[in-house]
């Protein structure tokens, strides 16, 4: 049984890393500027963190609705077309998701030093 738990943990981490890459690629393809990209990353983090706090899984369809209007193509369509191997839903991995806010925190630190 422990082996199943370990493989689920690895799968969740891999899914979350894939999600981060897909978000970065999605915003790049939509040709968003740095500020807009960070706003999208913050939206994704907020959604994923809410799911984590509620004990719910990240649902690709729901996340895609959160990101409606970012691009002509929905996030869910983008991930399917580009071949990202994301499940329809998967558990949130807190340590991986923190990377979504890493850039924002670093940027704030630099602004405070100026």
Distance CA 97, CA 58 (A): 11
Q: What whole-number percentage of the chain has pLDDT above 70?
A: 81
Report residue 89: phi and psi, to 5°: -150, 150
Q: 26 pLDDT band (50/70/90 cuts)? A: very high
- How many CB atoms lie under 10 A from the CB of residue 48? 23
**Strands (DSSP E) found in the chain:** 58-59, 89-90
- The range of the structural domain enclosing residue 12 comes to 2-113
Distance CA 30, CA 14 (A): 24
Does residue 16 contact residue 97 with C-beta atoms inside 8 Å?
A: yes
Segment 32-41 mean pLDDT = 95
| Structural domains counted in the chain | 1
Cα-based angle 53, 42, 49 (whole degrees, multiple of 5): 10
Does residue 27 contact residue 19 with C-beta atoms inside 8 Å?
A: no
Residue pLDDT, tens place only, 71-85? 999 999 999 999 999
Structure tokens at 64: 């895609």
Is residue 104 scored above 60 in pLDDT?
A: no
């Amino acid at each position: 049984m422990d082996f199943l738990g370990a493989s689920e943990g690895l799968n969740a981490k891999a899914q979350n890393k894939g999600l981060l890459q897909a978000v970065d690629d999605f915003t790049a393809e939509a040709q968003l500027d740095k500020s807009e990209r960070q706003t999208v990353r913050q939206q994704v983090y907020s959604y994923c963190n809410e799911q984590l706090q509620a004990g719910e899984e990240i649902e690709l369809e729901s996340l895609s609705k959160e990101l409606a209007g970012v691009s002509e193509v929905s996030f869910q369509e983008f991930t399917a077309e580009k071949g990202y191997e994301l499940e329809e839903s998967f558990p949130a991995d807190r340590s991986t998701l923190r990377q979504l806010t890493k850039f924002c925190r670093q940027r704030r630190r630099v602004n405070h030093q100026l």
